[in-house]
Structure 1
């Protein structure tokens, strides 16, 4: 699930009004994320006697001074208010406009992840699968995403965001329809691998474009919107898939996903064909200094720990505990998990209010602490109410999902290279594959109470590494 500050929001802020960042072509933003809150999206009128900078409607982070014919295609973006705070939401409309196709693509692709969990019991019953064999349905999908991460990042750098997105969608459609028509498990799993490869290519390109287009003063809030849209799509996909499968079986769900994904073609003309292409190498002495990888390792450690905790705790042990310990039916369990998703949506709203005004790392640590506390409630609980409370704390804590990705963009300070994108995606997908194995293995050896009790502290460790380094 991709979830992304990221699935999450951005972080970092400084004293409002003390310093205004001038957004100009070619200048790297400061490394410290503490200079985000109150930073201007454009120079206010009167600075050095010049009018405000103008920002491209396609690339709103690239500004220039007015005075040429190209200015007709550029939109002025408001600077900070008189008290130094960020401009109101109305003023960010020119920045938000080029992101709308990315949000639309997010809606029309994330549902393919949410539609699968309700179908697993039907798949297992239809093909008489063991628990391990049923687990392959998601494992091979995650493996496809993992294997596609680096090739997808290179493809975007060479052909651009639009080409990478729609090539990935073609694979996703082919894989979904192939799953629905598969006569047996081997061909079904092959279709799931194709879906993973396509999802990797599409998601990576869309998400990288989102991070590069959002200016630092708004990155946290705008990426949180992206995450909220993904959560809604996951939830709707699961509900609709369960309803259709209950009446017609699981095959129409996969086959029907193909035509729904074809709707994404409406976004083709709204994506810049040049966006995402890696610029030619700069002459010696003019290229910006590369970011030290030691500054990015904590970001990838936090991403891996977050995905591992989500996949192992929320996606694997929580449903098993709800069924085995409390005897919840599938409907009741769905409502309990829904409470966790609702808590995450509410948490996203709260995080959005502070993520661009405070340093992002402490916000991420607070979310990790909520997940850990929720895991403790799940471990010691003996009543369904305690189970739901634990889910609410876990779901609300994961509202910081997008923060590692936005920290990555902040620390890189420019267009994300294929290596940066691939490493981030590999860390996330590795966590998704390892989570059920590690946490589930611990539950088999030491019991589910101990496993859920300590799972959240893996995320706390990743958050501490991010905050420390």
Structure 2
């Protein structure tokens, strides 16, 4: 059910990706104002993460999940009806609050619903819903934008409402045979203070930041410009490369999850990170589109393995409900998406694309070094719990 929810959210989000900057530009604003529309959503998600986690711990995942999805749906509808840039910025930003509630509650429910023997595979399947929706959405988004710049937002509002209905109707005790919204006092809770004392959680936070910086920030910021300006190709070729990466990632996603569940989170991250590093280095010395396509395929292969490892670590250490623990981890990833594109763009403006890629490779090597100190977190492979009685820390 969560994978179905993630698909409807992602396919709708993919629809509006091509339309957001063009819709904002229709109000006669400059490129800085257009960029603010895009970043304001992520900034709101980041700033409201701990609030969403508190709501999950207080009211349970299902209620917060459904409410958050309907909130994003409502503000997306208002975004489609915006008559000024100010309205567009306000409604798009408020949608980020609902998105934060959705992502934190879905992550909490997913992580506590499965044991650590299959956790990475479950997360791979959940991420697969996002990936499939992310591939499908943009293909239709351009067509809808040609009809009307507001049309993608109306459709996105509808897909979010469908996702909200799935969450409220199918994630129920009657459908699942078990109570989703069990009281926190009954199922237990991992506090943020407990999690911060754990080395695996500390490492997972840093890996989430660097992951999103490289795997999302780098690819979404300067890559399309690199293809058009340095490779003298087209935006269509840039998009094709990203699609190739997404398809390769989808092919290996479940296999990567199984590898993480059997070999360990550290093994999965180190294995995948080698391919990501090769992909970044290849970009730094790419002179034609063929090498660009190969580098994107390497990104996709490596991303399949490194994408689930930090989240699986967080799921492994949580006992019961841990809304704020998951929220802080997702906020670390959001921070990577906020700062990564800015820093990479600045390096490109001051120096060159090659310098930006090489610095990114250096940042990625830091992630690889961090992964080497990541302790095993699958409780089925340990003699003792990570969070012992009286909050005594073992790792």
Q: TM-score range by the shorter chain?
A: 0.7 to 0.9
* Structure-2 change in CA distance of 1:267 and 1:423 (3 Å): closer
1:151 matched residue in structure 2: 51
Match status 1:464 vs 2:363: no
TM-score (norm 1): 0.73
Please report the TM-score for the alignment, with normalisation by the length of structure 2.
0.86
Gaps of 5+ in 2: 174-178, 375-395
List structure 1 segments (4+ residues) > 6 angstroms apart after TM superposition: none
Aligned mates of 1:451, 1:250 — CA distance in 2: 33
The alpha-carbon deviation at position 124 of structure 1 amounts to 5.4
Pairwise mapping of residues 402-421 of structure 1 onto structure 2 (< 5 A)? Answer: 402-412=308-318, 414-421=319-326
2:77/2:154 contact within 8 Å kept: yes
Compute the displacement of 1:137 (Å).
Answer: 2.3
Q: CA deviation at 1:433?
A: 0.5
Contact 1:164 1:205 in 2 (8 A): yes
3-state SS of 1:183 partner: coil
Residue 450 of structure 1 deviates from its aligned partner by 1.2
Matches within 5 A, 1:59-138: 101-120=1-20, 122-123=22-23, 125-138=25-38
Structure 1 residues 136 and 207, CA gap change in structure 2 (3 angstroms): same
Q: Considering only aligned residues, what root-mean-square deviation do their CA atoms show, in Å?
A: 2.3
Separation (CA, whole Å) in 2 of partners of 1:296 and 1:278: 25
Residues 1:425 and 2:324 aligned together? no
Please give the alpha-carbon distance, in whole angstroms, between the structure 2 residues aligned to 1:323 and 1:128.
25
Match of 2:244 among 339, 361, 364: 339
- Decide whether the 8 Å contact of 1:369 with 1:460 is kept in 2: no
Secondary structure class of the residue paired with 1:216: coil
Task: Give the counterpart of 2:63 among 140, 144, 163.
Answer: 163
Is 1:279 the equivalent of 2:184? yes
What residue in structure 2 maps to residue 18 of structure 1? none
- Partner of 2:83: helix, strand, or coil? coil
| Counterpart Cα distance in 1 of 2:361 and 2:180 | 38
What is the count of residue pairs matched by the alignment? Answer: 363
Larger helix percent: 2
Q: Report which of the two structures shows the higher radius of gyration computed on alpha carbons.
A: 1
Name the counterpart of 2:143.
Answer: 243
The answer to whether the Cα contact below 8 Å between 1:123 and 1:129 also exists between their aligned partners in 2 is: no
Matched ranges for 1:15-414 at <5 A: 101-120=1-20, 122-123=22-23, 125-246=25-146, 248-264=147-163, 265-272=165-172, 275=180, 279-280=184-185, 290-291=194-195, 292-399=197-304, 400-412=306-318, 414=319
- Could you tell me which runs of 5 or more consecutive residues in structure 1 were left unpaired when the two chains were aligned: 1-100
